[in-house]
Amino acid sequence: MLLGKRMLALVMVVGTVVTVSMAWASTDPAPAPTQSIAPGAHSYVPDAEKKSTSTADHSKFKELEGPFATGPEVTKACLTCHTEAAKQVHKSKHWTWEFLNPQSKQRLGKKNVINNFCTAVPSNYEFCTACHAGYGWKDQNFDFTSQENVDCLVCHESTGTYRKLPGLAGHPPYADMEFPPKSGKIVKAPDLKAVAQSVGKTGRKNCGACHFYGGGGDAVKHGDLDSSLGEPSKYLDVHMDKDGLNFTCGTCHVTTGHEVPGSRYTPTAVPETSAHMRGKDSKNLATCQSCHTNTPHDVAKLNSHTDKIACQTCHIPEFARGGKPTKMVWDWSTAGKLDKDGKPFKVKDSGGHDAYDSKKGDFKYETNVIPEYVWFNGTVNYTLRETKLDPSRVVKINSFEGSAEDGKSKIWPVKIFRGKQPYDVGSNQLLVFHTYGKDDSALWSNFNWDKAIEYGMKEIGAEYSGKYAFVETEMSWPITHMVAPKDDALTCAQCHSPSGGVGRLDNVPGIYMPGRRANELLNTGGWGLAGLALVGVLGHGTIRIFSARKGAKK
């Protein structure tokens, strides 16, 4: 770096001198600019133009000729052929929003977990269930056994016109509607017949309809999943590169019977070391090792890292690289401020993103985020609503377990999302509050925390002391998408650079980093001893030479 600066300085000085002499010496005209290839020209063929390999053209099916007035009507038609599909979906987390962790016995899933984004689903069903793979979940009485309430379209349609809006309990708009309310923007009601006839294999944009927009907007939640992965370039994701391998989500998340592997509730921190063999049962195919094994490098030294370093650590140098900023901080404690006219307001940051919203509080966004790194063995412990917390400390919504010593951990890159959210001062437990609704208790309507919390806690049947405050929270998200081309992986120096500067793994406990965490005294002593040995050898050699000459003279 320093050398680079020196070179630049030298080049500028020398260049200036050379330019001076040339200014007097040469009057040759500059060469005419050559015509360049049009920027953006590439061999990309839009998905729609690619020839389908499916053996069925759903637009030719009588059952899908409609007309369809609602989503469930389409599902009924789907089920006439795909008789077992809804039953399979009923068992999946996309439907139940529930997961019992077999290790910790914690009951997780969206239905149960309180996070530090929009916090909790209960009391906000109509809004949150825009991302449920079903129709009509508007309160606790939702019928989870109904087959026709399964939403086939959200995962299988390919027109790009089918959109489930928050507030409609998982339904798409059946008539054109203004969204967001009072924005002047109109969302068209989808043509359900055309949408139904377009179904096929799940594509990137199907998964992305929810997973790119988690937490209330594009790129907000994950950091490594956003709409830039809809049509990504090679630099953004070497596997999903639209002009290259063009992977869909399902290429890695190989799905059987509507059960999608790759859960963040029980992530696979230390995958099997060999590649997946067809026919063999595997817990999770959505790992790098499933294809690449644990020793994919030509250089043996790199392979020797893979027992302790997750592939993602080196191969995802930053997240939110697609130009979409991800939310890094959400402070609920400032929500509820109103302007001088008593109306909610927003403040934009320098990039034009919300820095403050009366409904939600303060935010911070960032692009090209350098991950934090932690030891992780696959065990995640959640602070649930029932968990007692210590408000004097930062509450970890989820703790990634692992250490250098346990023999089953690897160093993983994570996004740590920081925020402040309400907790019950009486019971020292996280609170559920009512954000969205047409009633008088919703925070986003009346900006009254007391009412919103009271309503939310009543909804889940939990006690509330009546006093709340805000506690600092952190939530960790494993970074595993946006894999850069191999030339852009971290270099050795980014972890092993000598003292000074930055080392990516400086804050990871329990490791000795060769080249970086050197002991100056030990180094000086070592070099001193080596120097003395050299002096000794040279001295001894010199004496031997002179003695030999003396002996020869005698």
Backbone angles phi, psi at 536, to 5 degrees: -60, -45
Helices and strands in the chain, H and E counts: 16, 15
- Shortest reach from residue 71's CB to other proteins, in Å: 40
**Residues 52, 59, 273, 368: which binds other proteins (CB under 8 A)?**
368
Is 351 among the residues that bind other proteins (CB under 8 A)?
Answer: yes
Is 23 among the residues that bind other proteins (CB under 8 A)?
Answer: yes
Whichever of 164 and 504 has its CB closer to other proteins, that residue is: 504
Q: Is residue 423 within 8 Å of 431, Cβ to Cβ?
A: yes
Strand partners, 374: 412
Whichever of 9 and 81 has its CB closer to other proteins, that residue is: 9
**Residues 159, 282, 367, 427: which binds other proteins (CB under 8 A)?**
367
- Shortest reach from residue 32's CB to other proteins, in Å: 16
**Residues 143, 349, 406, 463: which binds other proteins (CB under 8 A)?**
349
Is 369 among the residues that bind other proteins (CB under 8 A)?
Answer: yes
Task: Report d(CA 257, CA 239) in Å as an integer.
Answer: 24
Whichever of 148 and 366 has its CB closer to other proteins, that residue is: 366
Q: How many residues does the chain have?
A: 554
**Count of residues in contact with other proteins, rule CB under 8 A:** 41
Query: In 3D, which of 399, 321, 385, 373 has the Cα closest to residue 506?
Result: 373
Q: Which residue stretch of 156-164, 281-289, 359-367, 397-405 sits at the interface with other proteins (rule: CB under 8 A)?
A: 359-367
Strands 410-424 and 468-478 come out as: antiparallel
Whichever of 308 and 353 has its CB closer to other proteins, that residue is: 353
Is 11 among the residues that bind other proteins (CB under 8 A)?
Answer: no
| H or E element at residue 128 | helix 125-128
Strand partners, 330: 363, 419
- Shortest reach from residue 148's CB to other proteins, in Å: 46
Query: Measured in Å, how far apart are the chain's first and last C-alpha atoms?
Result: 60
The sign one gets for the Cα dihedral 125, 127, 131, 134 is positive
Q: If you search the block for the tokens 């690449």, which residue do you land on? A: 292
**Neighbour-count burial for 486-499, b at 16+ CB within 10 Å, e otherwise:** eebbbeeebbebee
Is 523 among the residues that bind other proteins (CB under 8 A)?
Answer: no
Is 230 among the residues that bind other proteins (CB under 8 A)?
Answer: no
Whichever of 425 and 490 has its CB closer to other proteins, that residue is: 490
DSSP character string of 419-462: EEEEEETTTTEE-----S-SSTT-HHHH--HHHHHHHHHHHTT-
Whichever of 177 and 511 has its CB closer to other proteins, that residue is: 511
Binding mask 296-325 for other proteins (x = CB under 8 A): ---------------------xx--x----
Binding mask 108-147 for other proteins (x = CB under 8 A): ----------------------------------------
Whichever of 36 and 256 has its CB closer to other proteins, that residue is: 36
Task: Report d(CA 172, CA 167) in Å as an integer.
Answer: 10
Q: Which residue stretch of 102-110, 334-342, 379-387, 497-505 sits at the interface with other proteins (rule: CB under 8 A)?
A: 497-505
- What's the half-sphere exposure (Cβ side, CA atoms, 13 Å) at 55? 0
- Shortest reach from residue 496's CB to other proteins, in Å: 13
Query: In 3D, which of 126, 331, 367, 105 has the Cα closest to residue 236?
Result: 367
Task: Report d(CA 217, CA 360) in Å as an integer.
Answer: 13
Q: Which residue stretch of 130-138, 289-297, 374-382, 483-491 sits at the interface with other proteins (rule: CB under 8 A)?
A: 483-491
Q: How many Cβ atoms sit within 10 Å of the Cβ of residue 514?
A: 10
**Of 28-87, which residues contact other proteins (CB under 8 A)?**
39
Is 354 among the residues that bind other proteins (CB under 8 A)?
Answer: no
Task: Report d(CA 260, CA 253) in Å as an integer.
Answer: 6
467 token code pair:
């006093």
Whichever of 37 and 175 has its CB closer to other proteins, that residue is: 37
Q: Which residue stretch of 341-349, 390-398, 417-425, 516-524 sits at the interface with other proteins (rule: CB under 8 A)?
A: 341-349
Which residues contact other proteins (rule: CB under 8 A)? 2, 5-6, 8-10, 12-13, 16, 19-20, 22-23, 39, 233-235, 317-318, 321, 347-352, 355, 364, 366-370, 484-485, 487-488, 494, 501-502, 504
